[in-house]
């Protein structure tokens, strides 16, 4: 009897063990089947390309080609001004007058001294010539002749000193009329008429040249290296557009004709400069806007369908799929839209595989199934008992 009980218990435990094993196997198999069924299906495409003229945008500032401070070169009272603030002036035009009387007197005195020195020089030139004749005829001693020559040379030097003083006096007199050193638009007067001005004590006003005008702008070193790669060199004159702060584009294009010889350590940028014609005076020194610089040659650019692009709080992104069909979320920088496609500046490369359909099913890092087209969802038919119940229900209503 006891043996039978033990046998029965063993059989029961064996059956329980077999049942547990079958359950585990079925669960594992069901899980694998569910994973296969649940694997997201996506449509994928290779990133294409399109050759374009690449451009780079940067904040910019308008700078005058010449910015000249007008200063007094002598001391005196400022008596007159011959312009209005904001006027256009030409190089050599008289702007101010400093009290000239003192300098006129200095010129007259220097002129008188010059005439006196000239007269003495002429007299001693003649005396030395006579002494030369007399010494040749042995009428005077050689020492007397040498003395006459020394006096002649001394008065010649006096004449040169007087001439230099006269020219200096005339120069100072000319400085009583302060003239524009360059042509351009004149700024505000910093010292008004009636004040005493001193030489090199500060500017009376400032002149800004108006045509042409410079536009300077910083460019990231990586972007500048990209321009050099595309154009095949750094010393290339590139087309530049200027956009005013209100969004209006300046009607004329400029030419980038200068770049700095160093990269700013703090910002990692290099300063570039473009020259613009400004015959209508629309560009004003100190104005801020934006500059757009264009490469001179075309370059292939990544091109993807616009429908592949999604956006969140951090920016625009796409799903990049590797060779194992594992999707990765990649943020991108958009260059511009081209019909149903979008040109990409940064984030994906030509030839990469990206998802363009079934995007809502993708979980980054979870394998996906790549298909040509997504299957349309079909309506699930009710089971047999539900169909019978509905049929009986319709018959009762009749």
Q: Which residue has the tokens 């547990």?
A: 20
Q: How far is CA 87 from CA 17, 363, 364, in A?
A: 105, 68, 66
Q: What is the pLDDT of residue 167?
A: 95
pTM above 0.85, yes or no: no
Band (352; pLDDT cuts 50, 70, 90): very high
Q: Is the pLDDT of residue 345 over 80?
A: yes
Q: What is the pLDDT of residue 144?
A: 84
Q: Average pLDDT in the 254-260 region?
A: 93
pLDDT digits (tens, 9 = 90+) for 164-196: 999 999 999 999 999 998 888 898 899 889 899
In sequence order, what are the residues at sequence separation of 6 or more whose Cβ sits closer than 8 angstroms to the Cβ of residue 29? none
pLDDT digits (tens, 9 = 90+) for 210-225: 889 999 999 999 999 9
Q: Is the pLDDT of residue 378 over 50?
A: no
Pair of tokens at residue 172: 């100072």
pLDDT digits (tens, 9 = 90+) for 288-299: 999 999 999 998
Q: What is the pLDDT of residue 246?
A: 93
Band (23; pLDDT cuts 50, 70, 90): low
Longest dimension (CA), the chain: 180
Q: Is the pLDDT of residue 131 over 50?
A: yes
Q: What is the pLDDT of residue 385?
A: 46
Q: What is the pLDDT of residue 11?
A: 62
315 within 8 A of 55, measured Cβ to Cβ: no
Question: Of all residues in the chain, what percent carry a pLDDT higher than 90?
Answer: 52
Question: Of all residues in the chain, what percent carry a pLDDT higher than 70?
Answer: 84
Band (388; pLDDT cuts 50, 70, 90): very low
Band (148; pLDDT cuts 50, 70, 90): confident
Q: Is the pLDDT of residue 314 over 50?
A: yes
């Amino acid at each position: 009897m006891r043996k039978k009980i033990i046998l029965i218990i063993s059989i029961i435990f064996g059956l329980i063990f077999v049942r547990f094993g079958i359950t585990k196997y079925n669960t594992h198999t069901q899980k694998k089947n569910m994973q296969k069924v649940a694997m997201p299906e996506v449509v994928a495409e290779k990133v294409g390309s399109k050759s374009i003229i690449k451009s780079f945008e940067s904040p910019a500032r308008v700078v005058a080609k010449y910015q000249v401070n007008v200063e007094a070169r002598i001391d005196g009272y400022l008596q007159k001004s011959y312009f209005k603030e904001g006027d256009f002036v030409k190089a050599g035009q008289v702007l101010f007058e400093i009290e000239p009387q003192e300098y006129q007197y200095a010129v007259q005195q220097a002129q008188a001294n010059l005439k006196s020195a000239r007269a003495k020089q002429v007299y001693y030139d003649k005396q030395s010539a006579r002494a030369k004749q007399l010494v040749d005829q042995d009428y005077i001693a050689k020492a007397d002749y040498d003395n006459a020559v020394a006096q002649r040379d001394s008065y010649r030097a006096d004449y040169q000193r007087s001439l230099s003083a006269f020219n200096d006096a005339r120069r100072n007199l000319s400085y009583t009329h302060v003239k524009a050193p360059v042509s351009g638009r004149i700024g505000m007067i910093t010292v008004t008429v009636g004040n005493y001005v001193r030489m090199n004590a500060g500017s009376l006003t400032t002149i800004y040249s108006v045509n042409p005008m410079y536009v300077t702008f910083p460019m990231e070193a990586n972007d500048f290296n990209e321009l050099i790669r595309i154009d095949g060199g750094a010393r290339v004159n590139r087309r530049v557009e200027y956009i005013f702060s209100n969004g209006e584009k300046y009607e004329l294009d400029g030419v980038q004709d200068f770049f700095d010889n160093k990269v700013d350590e703090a910002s990692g940028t290099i300063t570039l400069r473009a020259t613009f014609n400004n015959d209508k005076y629309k560009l004003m020194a100190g104005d801020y806007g934006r500059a757009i610089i264009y490469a001179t040659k075309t370059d292939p650019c990544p091109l993807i369908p616009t429908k592949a692009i999604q956006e969140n709080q951090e920016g625009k992104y796409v799903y990049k799929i590797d060779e194992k069909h594992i999707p990765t979320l990649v943020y991108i920088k958009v260059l511009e839209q081209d019909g149903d496609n979008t040109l990409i500046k940064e984030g994906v490369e030509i030839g990469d595989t990206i998802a363009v359909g079934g995007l809502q099913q993708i979980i980054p890092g979870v394998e996906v199934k790549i298909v040509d087209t997504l299957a349309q969802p079909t309506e699930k038919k009710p089971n047999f008992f539900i169909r019978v119940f509905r049929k009986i229900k319709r018959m009762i209503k009749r």
